[in-house]
Amino acid sequence: MTPDDLVALVRNYNPNCDEDLIRRAWDYGAAMHEGQRRHSGEAYFTHPVAVAALLTEMRLDDATIVTALLHDTIEDTRSTHEEVAQRFSPEIAELVDGVTKLTNLQLSSSQAKQAENFRKLLIAMSRDLRVILVKLADRLHNMRTIRSMRPEKQGQKARETMEIYAPLAGRMGMQWMREELEDLAFRVLNPEARNSILRRFISLQRESGNVVSRIAGDIRLELDRAQIDATVYGRAKKPYSVWRKMQEKDLTFSRLSDIYGFRIIVDDVAQCYQVLGLIHQRWRAVPGRFKDHISQPKQNGYRSIHTTVSGRDGKRVEVQIRTREMHEVAEAGVAAHWAYKDGARVENPFAVDPAKWISSLTERLDAAGEDHDEFLEHVKLEMYADQVFCFTPKGDVVPLPRGATPLDFAYAIHTRIGHATVSAKVDGLRVPLWTRLRNGQSVEIITAEGQRPQASWIELVHTGRAKAAIRRSLREEDRERFVRLGRELMRLALENVGRRLTDKALETAAQMMGLKDAPDLLARVGSTDISARHVVQTLFPDLAAAQGDRVDSAQPVVGLEPGQSFRRAACCQPVPGERIVGITYRGKGVLAHAIDCAVLAGLEDQPERWIDLRWLDGRHQAVHAVSLEVTISNNAGVLGRVCSLIGGQGANISDLRFSDRKPDYFRIFVEVDVRDAGHLHAILTALNAETDVAEVRRLRDPTRRP
């Protein structure tokens, strides 16, 4: 492609474009990338040019096309933000800088890092959505040419595309891009499945002929009879779309229906419903497969009627009916806001204002606060949302993601209503709160004063907004209880090293750990976000290290070769005083298993990996974590007494969480740091003697990884 070719593409939809600006950007980008090569061996500048060409298909403005040509200059060349602003404009410099920052985000990194990067992505979107349009086009071209990358890099890019960029394109209404990105990633991640589906399509075409053209001909015949001028498109669905449906419904290809899709484009809304009537008169409609997105449009502006019918030879086909303006938005999504035609912005009445769209998205995501897991869960739910539309008793429409429940509906109206929900009616009938809502249902929420969210509600809701609101309420409600529990855990941990709990000690620890204040520290200890032992080590590192130093906790066993590393096996958690055997693991050193560990049975035919180990004699430090499951009655003060009993035996609780809650009992998971088998026996005896403790058992799980 030459500069003249690119200018011609832009002039096709925008005769008033700034040709000089585009040519200057081409020359500057080519000069900056001079000598650089892609993995395929091509000149690097062919990539920015291809991205710009992709964006002309969306009929975008000059600034976006120029940004595409320059999008890698600040990152990969000697170019700077200031130089781009001076040569072109501050607007273009900001756009290029925004794309550069997105490129540097490692979206498939660790959970906390990924959540933070998602926030940055949303901030970039909120400043100017054109940044994302350039980035999506950049990713699409990279996926089209991914074969030149190293295999491991291909897998990383494909996963990132499938998890992030394809859903984002779909959320923005650019369904064609979502489908192509998914299919390109699918080709890398599961080539055998994709090839198998393609072979099935070829075989089906060989057996049945060109089904698409025959059904499209049948539709055109009906439209001609009714004298309706319309355009009909037909195609087989993309391999990834077919494979996903096979996985979701657990069906083989031969049992799969509606693998063909058709679009009918007409002049006005009245014709949409007229065509719907013709289709349903000619073919039998499939129950439950009708959606009217014209009367209930999606948030990204998408409007269309969807119906599935039993077509020729009983084959199910999906038919989408929309006007030409609706089709433009369906193809371009939110990008339709910038589309040009004949040198001017297209005034499409269905195009969504990007500022309002991004505001509605980020507003709901802000509720997740600083909780990384919560934010990530919320943003992915929003990205993958497949909506249903329900009605309030007054007839107001409430859009929700598929799988939402009456509780989600209540929180979508207002957090206060969600908190106070006691039951719900759907279409006038009382239903359980876990009922999955369907399109078009009327939902009435019944509330009661004094009602508060329950922990079990987390499992009943589907939307990020509802989950975030429930968790916030539970945290506030539990905070006082966690502070009391944290104070008791800290008292026991400090007594274990011969120190007394004081407000000054707590304030000092909070300051040293970068926390707000002492209550914040206690709440985190009580909720097991921070262990009491860690706080003690922060305050008194020398005392914590000196406790029980007769045996070095780093080398508490005899039988290792010089340089061999040692760890206790997580599956059986052996402690001093119990017979052990060492097993060598590649990359993990030697793991000590209890002699009766179930894992050892599977290693009997590998005697070369066995090492004779024994614990050193002497006083061991209380650093050997043991997992206990304790069933206690649901009475006031029981949990505190259990913690006191453990602390009374000189043991530290390093983790505590509820594994089951019932009206009459709680089952809790407790991780206790013990010195040896005798110390553990004393703790178990003390707990078993407590009236409100129904059962105590040591947890050993052979499925845990070494």
Other beta carbons within 10 Å of 388: 21
User: Phi and psi of 111, rounded to 5°?
Assistant: -55, -50
CA 466 to CA 484: how far, in whole Å?
A: 28
Beta pairing class for 260-266 and 284-292: unpaired
Three-state SS letters, 145-174: CHHHCCHHHHHHHHHHHHHHHHHHHHHCCC
Placement of tokens 């304030």 in the chain = 507
CA 174 to CA 187: how far, in whole Å?
A: 20
Placement of tokens 């209550």 in the chain = 519
Three-state SS letters, 204-247: HHHHHCCHHHHHHHHHHHHHHHCCCCCEEEEEECCHHHHHHHHH
CA 111 to CA 107: how far, in whole Å?
A: 9
Structure tokens that stand for 246 in this block: 């096979």
Please report the DSSP string for 516-542 in residue order: S-HHHHHHHHHTTSS-HHHHHHHH-HH
Contacts of 214 (CB under 8 A, 6+ apart): 312
Contact (Cβ atoms closer than 8 angstroms) between residue 219 and residue 264: yes
Q: Residue 572: CA atoms inside 13 Å, Cβ hemisphere, count?
A: 18
Contact (Cβ atoms closer than 8 angstroms) between residue 290 and residue 388: no
CA 382 to CA 363: how far, in whole Å?
A: 12
CA 600 to CA 569: how far, in whole Å?
A: 11
CA 620 to CA 549: how far, in whole Å?
A: 7
Give the catalytic positions in this structure.
Answer: 75-76
Contact (Cβ atoms closer than 8 angstroms) between residue 32 and residue 101: no
Structure tokens that stand for 425 in this block: 């009616």
Q: Give me the torsion for CA of 424, 427, 430, 435, rounded to 10°.
A: -70
CA 552 to CA 561: how far, in whole Å?
A: 17
At residue 187, the 3 state secondary structure works out as helix
CA 312 to CA 262: how far, in whole Å?
A: 13
Amino acid at position 507, single letter: E
Q: What DSSP state is assigned to residue 697?
A: E
Consecutive H or E run containing 594: strand 589-594
Contacts of 264 (CB under 8 A, 6+ apart): 219, 223, 230, 231, 232, 275, 319, 320, 321, 322
Beta pairing class for 624-633 and 665-674: antiparallel
Amino acid at position 585, single letter: Y
Partners of residue 444 on adjacent β-strands: 425
Amino acid at position 653, single letter: I
